Amino acid sequence: MKQFIPILDWLPRYKRSYLKGDVQSGLTVAIMLVPQGMAYGLLAGLPPIYGLYASLFSLVLYAVFGTSRELSVGPAAIVSMLVAAGIFSLGEDLSTTEMVSIAVSIALLAGIMQFLLGVFRLGVLVNFLSHPVIAGFASAAAFIIAFSQLKHLLGIPLQRSNNIFVLAGDAIEHIGQLHWITLGISVVSIIIIQGLKRISKAIPTALIVVLFGTLAVVGFNLDQQGVAVIGKVPEGLPPFAWPDLSADRILSIWPIAVTICIISFIESVAIAKTMGRQQSSPRIDPNQELIALGITKIGGAFFQAFPTSGSFSRSAIHVESGAKTGISSLISALIIVLTLLFFTEWFYYLPKAVLAAIIISAVINLVDYKEARHLWSADRRDFWTMLTTFVATLLLGIQNGVLMGVLLSLAIMVYRNSRPHIAVLGQLPNSRRYRSISRFSNARQHEEVLIVRFDAQLYFGNADYFRDEIERLVAREGRALQLFILDASSIHDIDTTGAEALGEVIEILQGRNIRFFISGVVGPARDALSRHGLMQVIGERNQFIQIHDAVEYYHTAADAADSSWTPDALQTNEPKKKKRK
């Protein structure tokens, strides 16, 4: 039970000394989360109050089931944008009730997916999005999110769309309707947020601009001059309601639910690991994190909450404010409850331009130009992967951009595994060590001997490449070659197709009167060779623990059958045979 419900493990060991840090962190995060949650509710295409609903239940449920003490879970920019994309894909003229129903259904389905992945310990399946793909997707999403807020920043009417070019074109077409007061509020809000962040990240910048915007509207009657405000905000806690998860609804929302399932997990775990390393905290359990994140979505869905995820900015504040345990999140949740019960009417005059400014300031950091610059100098393949995902997301939209990223990650993985590294080895002077001759200029090849190391499992995806490359290397050596040694120390597994390819290599070498030795075979690969009958084909006298044993044996005895010296044979589970005299 403690493994499934971590709060049962840490709560009985709670120390009084933790309380000060937890209270301070809980208050700080709540002050930041109230305006930010409302902003992300607006970003999700819903009334801002639904951002508070999502904040409340994610804080409580993650504190109970989560394994990271640093992670702050709640509404997040990319996931909120994905929710909006899922809603708008089902129609542009939906009522508020219909949009809320769709968002809640997405949360429930994505939560069920995450919960099941965690229960069956399949968290590894969501790792098919490589870091360059995530960086490219997040950078493009930041631009899409920013353009989606132009209508609130500029005070002009724009159509709903997740296509950056449609939004830009529409904005240019309606630029004549620019509302200057709204633009002024937006610009001043962004300047205040960015300026105060440079002074200290602990300053509640979102709350400050909310107060600034609200007071400006009330003091100068700006709502009567065309400035859009939130208006009446429902008071009280969200009611319990069964989400719609009918067959038709599942068929319409499952692609976006899968996307949110993957993105929210990767984003949350990456934040938790980063913060955990900085604080030297115990390692998190990814599968339990899947369960926790799934439960936050499932539980919240029954109380009008759209999908949530970990937030880097709030997690950073969470840690900097002195959080020690999940009690800090429970305190933040208590502040949200008090806000919903007693203070919602205070948000009536809050300008939507201020919420848009909060969103813009939050997503600026998603544009990972530093990573692009690093990849350009470190690995051009990863750079082009990042750029391809970035462009695909801009052109095809967020949902299709993620799908493109997954397919691209899988394609890259398959390509790299199908053409693994193969090294020709030579002996280092005055040693028993053998290294790649392309990397060590002093590595010396023995006459008549070719030593090759294959750095991957030998399976159906690279079996042909393995056979063709060895055949090419053997042909390059010409008639002088008398012995081929395969260093199998990096081959951790061999499937049926790989075994057949190895058998073909042995036949090719026998046809050219070239002896075949193998060294360093690890246990799983040795078991596979036995199952496929290759141990007998290779012969016990041709198997060695070290490369140097094989080379020394070859040079010591031209005819192994007449040699009085016996090499160190590999240890197997078979009974040891007596050495031949």
3-state SS assignment for residue 427: strand
CB atoms within 10 A of CB 3: 11
Q: Which of 227, 210, 272 is nearest to 36 (CA)?
A: 210
Stretch 487-511: mean pLDDT: 95
Nearest-angstrom CA–CA distance, 519 and 58: 55
Nearest-angstrom CA–CA distance, 346 and 339: 10
171: enclosing H helix or E strand: helix 164-173
8 A C-beta contact, residue 301 and residue 241: no
Q: What pLDDT shows up at residue 581?
A: 36
Q: Which residues are bridge partners to 442 per DSSP?
A: none
Stretch 60-66: mean pLDDT: 94
Nearest-angstrom CA–CA distance, 97 and 533: 66
**201 has a pLDDT exceeding 80:** no
| Cβ neighbours of residue 40 closer than 8 Å, sequence gap 6 or more | 51, 54, 75, 76, 77, 80, 359
540 vs 128, residue with greater confidence: 540
Going by pLDDT thresholds of 50, 70 and 90, the confidence category of residue 364 is confident
Length of the chain, please? 581
397 vs 513, residue with greater confidence: 513
Q: What pLDDT shows up at residue 329?
A: 92
8 A C-beta contact, residue 305 and residue 46: no
Nearest-angstrom CA–CA distance, 521 and 458: 12
Residue 53 amino acid letter: Y
CB atoms within 10 A of CB 494: 26
3-state SS assignment for residue 308: coil
Nearest-angstrom CA–CA distance, 473 and 453: 12
Question: Distances in Å between the alpha carbon of 391 and those of 83, 387, 398?
Answer: 21, 6, 11
Question: Distances in Å between the alpha carbon of 136 and those of 132, 141, 406, 563?
Answer: 6, 9, 12, 62
Q: What pLDDT shows up at residue 128?
A: 67
Percent of the chain with pLDDT over 90: 56
